[in-house]
Amino acid sequence: MTNQTQTIFTFGNKLAEGNASMKELLGGKGANLCEMNLIGIPVPPGFTITTDMCRLYHSSGENQVLEFMFNDLFKAMQFIEEQTGTKFGDATNPCLVSVRSGSRVSMPGMMDTVLNLGLNEKSVQGLIDKTGNARFAWDSYRRFIQMYAAVVMGVKAATDQDEDPFENIIQEAKKAKGIKQDNDFTAQDLKEITARFKEIVKKESGKDFPSDPWEQLGGAVIAVFNSWMNDRAVYYRELNHIPHHWGTAVTVQAMVFGNMGDHSATGVAFTRDAGTGENLFNGEYLINAQGEDVVAGIRTPRQITIEGSKRWAALCGVTEERRSEEFPSLEETMPDLFRQLAEAGAILESHFRDMQDIEFTIQEGKLWILQTRNGKRTGAAMVKMAVDMQQENLIGQQDAIMRIDPNRLDELLHPIFDPSAALKCRELGQGLPASPGAASGRMVFSAADAQNWTADGEQVILVRTETSPEDLKGMVVAEGILTARGGMTSHAAVVARGMGKCCVAGAEAVKIDYKTRTALFGGEILQEGDWISLDGSTGRIYKGKIKTTEAELSIDFDRLMLMADLHARMQVRTNADTPQDVQTAKRFGARGIGLCRTEHMFFEDGKITAMREMILAENEDGRRKALARLLPMQRRDFESIFSTMDGLPVTIRLLDPPLHEFVPHEDSSQKRLADQMGISQKTVREKIDSLHEFNPMLGHRGCRLGNTYPEITEMQTRAILEAALNLKKECIISRPEIMIPLTGTVEEMEFQKQIIEAAAQAVFDDYNDRIDYLVGTMIEVPRAALTADKIAESAEFFSFGTNDLTQMTYGYSRDDAGKFLPLYLEKGILKHDPFQILDQEGVGQLVNIAVKKGLSSRKNLKIGICGEHGGEPASVEFCHNAGLHYVSCSPYRVPIARLAAAQASIKQKRAETEMLEKLQI
């Protein structure tokens, strides 16, 4: 940074020094305010201090940064004064500003804001003279003290259970005056409250409340910089993988007031429905209020559109007569301003080509837009909006696909309440359907309790009067969130939607008592720990725990998936071994089975006994007898899978786990087994003891089993091919791919392949018919990856078993890593859990080597992945770039992988185009 570095960018009066592309430097808020100025949206003038200054502050401290930008700050304040015709700290015509945070990506409510800055005993008088509205001026001053004291001077409730000293004064004053609403205070009341607020500040902080506006401004800017590092912001960034070094910008903007009387208002508007994705302009507002009142859920806001207002009334059981009198929409109370707001919304949505979340203020009949950003939305809304916008030609197919966060598709696939089970439960009440989903859990009343209960393995519903950013950690661990106050744009609603978590907000009939940890629903009192269930799509609250059922997939979801398939190069298969998993995966669009773990089939009733007899048999003869009993059962399983997959490839892996996993270890079960087999319990115990291994994961498993007991491989091959030939008679096509696990050398592979081929020939002779099949291997031992060229001479396909490959590359036991991985992640020794996100640097190198070597010796080698990473978006992208033909993952992750595969293709194409363009230049 040099003295020439521009530290501040101004905007106002249709001019701006920045634009929407400068989010890194000006934060989303600052960049979009500049852009709005450039396209003629009415925005109060202001300026943005860059994120560079935040970084400078955190590296060099307060004095350094204030000194560095002092001249620019002074000039920028002059700019606001000129634009507004006011003077900072003036006794007759004071300039008041807001000071807000704004990072590159929105972090709603995580950092701090100060409003009405510039007020003191002198300028409050100026504001009274200027507006002729003493009540408004004192209300603004008391709000300023309350906010500034909390944000800059640290005067606030110590914990979320403690009482807020300022709120206490307000409540006492209300009681003394016998009034219910803040709006009922007179100017004199508010003046007295302001004086009491100052006393609190002095008592709690030991300092006078600052009256010098420059001191106020410096303090607020530094406090916003500091809020970048507050606990909740750090936690939010960690949760959302936002780098800590980005820093926040600070936007200082001329105040406009929604609390100037009945012709003033403030609110939040969304250009589409953030819950469902419907193309419906909607939002909430409050007359005679400031912005924080809407978001904090302190007063329950009204809807901006007539339609929204009617829907709200229907949900809350409010009659049309009462609605239109007590809760009219903005469309009804201020029709002209509503039209202007709707027009601004339409302009902003088509300009930014995405759903906008807009903050607005109406000051005495004039509309101002304070902020616009791409709105947070539920998973379902994300899909609907992307598909609709593509069909409206607002965005192209590629943009529609790139706009979806693959991980959030999960929300759409999750179960909903079984309607018949819900009918049997007692309905406790109704709130607003703030974020869809179905959640059951035990009631807890604080974020800390939510964390404690979940640490003990309990499912919880966090119940709060309203939530604040302090509740974030509790919201993360809770199954769902219930609030008694606040609307669809309250903190709880917005944050829950962003997390894809079920939320019912503003359930006014619920009365919460934090002290006794109880909630009153109508006439019924429930205690902490009682089960309740929330339906975030209807807003209904139920007593007890409710069974769930599969969710219906929307047409938009299908459309999105078809679009994704058109753009993806890789196919997506599934890891499935039960008929139910196979069905689910097919419903989600799996193009085959990439891993059928046959051992899972052996655990079912009937099979496990034969399996145990096989393991405990004295000799090959005994094993063959038990295997002969298993054969028809395995064959039936394969027939069912092949017929469901109906001509799609099915990769069946031969027996993999160490045999001790199949035998009983308790005394009673061993006795039962001994009785069944007609041998002594002692013999059973001795045989089981002999299966003990010190490192079973590296022991007698995988192809080592098939090579020591070839009769197992023979039986499984026979079951697979007989199933395929039986179905062939019914004209059902099967495409079996027989996969050998844990191959380390080509000799191991070749030995197994010969057993398979001999068994196959025997089946073909018996049936006097044949069927095409492939023989391939998993690549999960580092040696196999390094000698992949040799192995590919024998294997017709590779499937990367990245669970074992990760285990053996790191030398971390899959079964024991839980003892140290959490600490490694916490301390930053590892960035990610390598069993969840593929380690591209190490394990990835082995994958790349194996692909290259494998293809060098067999051109048509088919290559896929079936480790857990096959359904993780970043790993799917890696697989695309490594040249794999398919990924295979668990059924519920199939849509995620389909989308991630399309995104990987699009990213690659875009990068290539960019490169070509650069080369041409």
CB of 653 to Mg ion, least distance (A): 8
Q: Pick from ligand PEP, Mg ion, none: which does 471 bind, CB < 5 to 8 A by kind?
A: none
Is 587 known to sit in a ligand binding site?
Answer: no
CB of 871 to Mg ion, least distance (A): 16
| 3 state SS of 207 | coil
Q: Could you give the CA distance from residue 533 to residue 429 in angstroms, rounded to a whole number?
A: 11
The binder of ligand PEP chosen from 305, 372, 802, 875 (CB under 6 A): 802
Contact stretch for ligand PEP (CB under 6 A) within 250-258, 361-369, 404-412, 802-810 = 802-810
In this structure, are residues 21 and 29 in contact, taking their beta carbons and an 8 Å threshold?
no
- DSSP labels for 419-472? HHHHHHSPEEEE-EEEE--EEEEEEE-SHHHHHHHHHTT--EEEEESS--GGGH
**Does 517 engage in binding with ligand PEP (CB under 6 A)?**
no
- Touching Mg ion, residues 785-824 (CB under 5 A): 801, 804
Q: Pick from ligand PEP, Mg ion, none: which does 595 bind, CB < 5 to 8 A by kind?
A: ligand PEP
Please say which residue, 11 or 835, places its beta carbon nearer to ligand PEP.
835
Is 704 known to sit in a ligand binding site?
Answer: no
Determine which one of 491, 660, 869, 880 is catalytic.
491
Determine which one of 95, 502, 503, 866 is catalytic.
866
Other Cβ atoms less than 10 A from the Cβ of 231: the count is 12
The binder of ligand PEP chosen from 801, 834, 891, 895 (CB under 6 A): 801
DSSP category for residue 546: -
**Does 783 engage in binding with ligand PEP (CB under 6 A)?**
no
In this structure, are residues 563 and 617 in contact, taking their beta carbons and an 8 Å threshold?
no
Contact stretch for ligand PEP (CB under 6 A) within 322-330, 463-471, 781-789, 797-805 = 797-805
The binder of ligand PEP chosen from 595, 630, 684, 739 (CB under 6 A): 595
CB of 801 to ligand PEP, least distance (A): 3
Contact stretch for ligand PEP (CB under 6 A) within 166-174, 359-367, 464-472, 800-808 = 800-808
Is 307 known to sit in a ligand binding site?
Answer: no
CB of 774 to ligand PEP, least distance (A): 18
Residue bearing tokens 């008041």: 96
- Touching ligand PEP, residues 13-32 (CB under 6 A): none
Please say which residue, 264 or 743, places its beta carbon nearer to ligand PEP.
743
Contact stretch for ligand PEP (CB under 6 A) within 70-78, 172-180, 566-574, 795-803 = 795-803
The binder of ligand PEP chosen from 324, 397, 681, 803 (CB under 6 A): 803
Is 573 known to sit in a ligand binding site?
Answer: no
Please say which residue, 23 or 653, places its beta carbon nearer to ligand PEP.
653
**Does 804 engage in binding with ligand PEP (CB under 6 A)?**
yes
* 508 Cβ contact partners less than 8 Å away, ≥ 6 residues apart: 300, 316, 431, 484, 485
Active site residue 596: no
Query: Nearest Cα to 362, choosing from 262, 253, 489?
Result: 262
Q: Could you give the CA distance from residue 678 to residue 680 in angstroms, rounded to a whole number?
A: 7
* 600 Cβ contact partners less than 8 Å away, ≥ 6 residues apart: 577, 578
Is 354 known to sit in a ligand binding site?
Answer: no
Task: Write a three-state SS string for 55-106.
Answer: HHHHHHCHHHHHHHHHHHHHHHHHHHHHHHCCEECCCCCEECEEEEEECCCC
Binding-site size, Mg ion (CB under 5 A): 3
CA separation, residue 37 to residues 14, 266, 445, 825 (Å): 4, 20, 44, 44
Please say which residue, 182 or 581, places its beta carbon nearer to Mg ion.
581
Strand-pair partners of 653: 597, 739
Please say which residue, 123 or 743, places its beta carbon nearer to Mg ion.
743
Binding-site size, ligand PEP (CB under 6 A): 10
Query: Nearest Cα to 371, choosing from 389, 350, 348?
Result: 348
Is 599 known to sit in a ligand binding site?
Answer: no
- Touching ligand PEP, residues 643-672 (CB under 6 A): 656
Residue bearing tokens 């080369």: 919
Q: Could you give the CA distance from residue 414 to residue 437 in angstroms, rounded to a whole number?
A: 8
Q: Pick from Mg ion, ligand PEP, none: which does 139 bind, CB < 5 to 8 A by kind?
A: none
CA angle 603, 609, 610 (to 5 degrees): 100
In this structure, are residues 68 and 4 in contact, taking their beta carbons and an 8 Å threshold?
no
Q: Pick from Mg ion, ligand PEP, none: which does 597 bind, CB < 5 to 8 A by kind?
A: ligand PEP
Query: Could you tell me the strand order of the sheet in which 46-49 lies?
Result: 15-16, 8-12, 46-49, 249-254, 97-102, 113-117
Other Cβ atoms less than 10 A from the Cβ of 293: the count is 19
**Does 867 engage in binding with ligand PEP (CB under 6 A)?**
yes
Please say which residue, 780 or 877, places its beta carbon nearer to ligand PEP.
780
The binder of ligand PEP chosen from 58, 174, 597, 700 (CB under 6 A): 597
Q: Could you give the CA distance from residue 270 to residue 285 in angstroms, rounded to a whole number?
A: 12
Please say which residue, 358 or 712, places its beta carbon nearer to Mg ion.
712
Please say which residue, 379 or 801, places its beta carbon nearer to ligand PEP.
801
Q: Is 7 left (phi over 0), alpha (psi -120 to 50) or beta?
A: alpha
Q: In 183-318, at which residue ranges do the beta strands (DSSP E only) sit?
A: 249-254, 265-270, 282-287, 302-303
Chain length of the chain = 921
Q: Tell me whether strands 460-464 and 438-444 are parallel, antiparallel or unpaired.
A: parallel
CB of 414 to Mg ion, least distance (A): 28
- Touching ligand PEP, residues 762-781 (CB under 6 A): 780
Q: Pick from ligand PEP, Mg ion, none: which does 867 bind, CB < 5 to 8 A by kind?
A: ligand PEP
- Touching ligand PEP, residues 616-635 (CB under 6 A): none
Binding mask 753-792 for Mg ion (x = CB under 5 A): ---------------------------x------------
CB of 780 to Mg ion, least distance (A): 5
Amino acid at 901: A
CB of 647 to ligand PEP, least distance (A): 24
CA separation, residue 269 to residues 294, 369, 493 (Å): 11, 10, 14
Is 639 known to sit in a ligand binding site?
Answer: no
CB of 801 to Mg ion, least distance (A): 4
CB of 835 to Mg ion, least distance (A): 12
Query: Nearest Cα to 366, choosing from 498, 243, 492, 263?
Result: 263
Q: Is 882 left (phi over 0), alpha (psi -120 to 50) or beta?
A: alpha
First to last CA, the chain: 30
CB of 651 to ligand PEP, least distance (A): 11
Contact stretch for ligand PEP (CB under 6 A) within 219-227, 434-442, 443-451, 801-809 = 801-809
Please say which residue, 567 or 653, places its beta carbon nearer to Mg ion.
653
Active site residue 491: yes
Interface residue list for Mg ion (CB under 5 A): 780, 801, 804
Q: List, as residue ranges, the binding site for Mg(2+).
A: 780, 804
Q: List, as residue ranges, the binding site for substrate.
A: 597, 653, 780, 801-804
* Catalytic center residues: 491, 866
Q: List, as residue ranges, the binding site.
A: 597, 653, 780, 801-804
Interface residue list for ligand PEP (CB under 6 A): 595, 597, 656, 780, 801-804, 866-867
